[in-house]
Amino acid sequence: MHEFMERLHARDRILLVGDSRQHEAVEAGRPFAQLQEAGMRTMRLEEIVRQKDPELKQAVEQLARGQVGTAIEGLDRQGRVHEVKGREERISAIAREYAKSPERTLVVSPDNLSRTEINQCIHAELQSGGRVSKEEHAVQTLVPRQEMTGADRSWAQQYQVDDILRYSRGSRETGIEKGEYTRVKGIDAQNNRLTVLRVDGSVTAYDPRRQMGVSVYREQEKAFSVGDRIQFTAPNHELRIANRELATVENIAPDGTMRLKLDNGRTLDYEPQHHPHLDHAYAIAWLRQG
């Protein structure tokens, strides 16, 4: 952000949009809030218009003021809060409620582990009800190692053997090209060197401080069926896919190619092995770090 601001010219104009009270960036730094604290001229939206129900609107206003306990107590009195104490019972209850009305239900999970469990349980519940085919197709997907920060990615000791790396920037020094994938084969923590296996079979070793734009993944097999709701977990410009874009599986060919109906109405023949950034879309994770 500092570099961006330094590049502005005298007649340039920028507009920053956000909410400093919502989740802050996972990486270090809070520039939007700091700019406001330093005196940046700020316009505020104060009136809540999304909630039409007066009782729900009151709860949202209380949450916006930080009165969390009061808001939850009010929702509880209205019969909107339901507690299921056992973990397995809770996940099963969520799956059953989702299956009653998939189009009108949103499931939010506090972490990726429980989100995965909820997705699997909802998938099975929809299969039992006939909404999703019972024939499953295993797909090797890539799951981000979200615990790794930008600083972590500069140090070899933070990586694990068999991590999959994707590079959003190329490097003349390492010879690695933009968009390339590699697999970690060796870690030299003492000298801060990573050894990676490239798609062409060659091996490259480099100091991770010298390679920018690296995303770190681990492989995970997931099962998909016709009728499943899916989401993309990384963009693909060639396929015109946006990150977190949603779709429904209409068909799965013997070779694994999926016929997808995107929510924008477009139909896509999708080959997971060429873009293994795929997940179920029944539950979303609402992560908070700090």
What pLDDT score was predicted for residue 66?
87
Per-position DSSP letters for 1-29, written without gaps between them: -HHHHHT--TT--------TTSPPPSSS-
pTM over 0.75: yes
What pLDDT score was predicted for residue 26?
61
Task: Give the distance between the most distant pair of CA atoms in the chain.
Answer: 64
Residue type for position 75? L
What pLDDT score was predicted for residue 25?
65
What pLDDT score was predicted for residue 111?
83
What pLDDT score was predicted for residue 154?
93
CB neighbourhood size of 276 (10 A) = 20
Count Cα neighbours of 149 within 13 Å in the Cβ-side half-sphere: 9
What pLDDT score was predicted for residue 72?
95
What pLDDT score was predicted for residue 18?
84
What pLDDT score was predicted for residue 290?
33
pLDDT in single tens digits along all 290 residues of the chain:
889 999 999 999 999 988 877 766 666 678 888 899 999 999 988 888 889 999 999 999 999 888 999 999 999 999 999 999 999 999 999 999 999 999 889 999 988 889 999 999 999 999 999 999 999 999 999 999 988 888 899 999 999 999 999 998 888 888 899 989 999 999 999 999 999 999 999 999 999 998 889 999 999 999 999 999 999 999 999 999 999 999 999 999 999 999 999 999 999 999 999 999 999 999 987 754 43
What pLDDT score was predicted for residue 28?
66
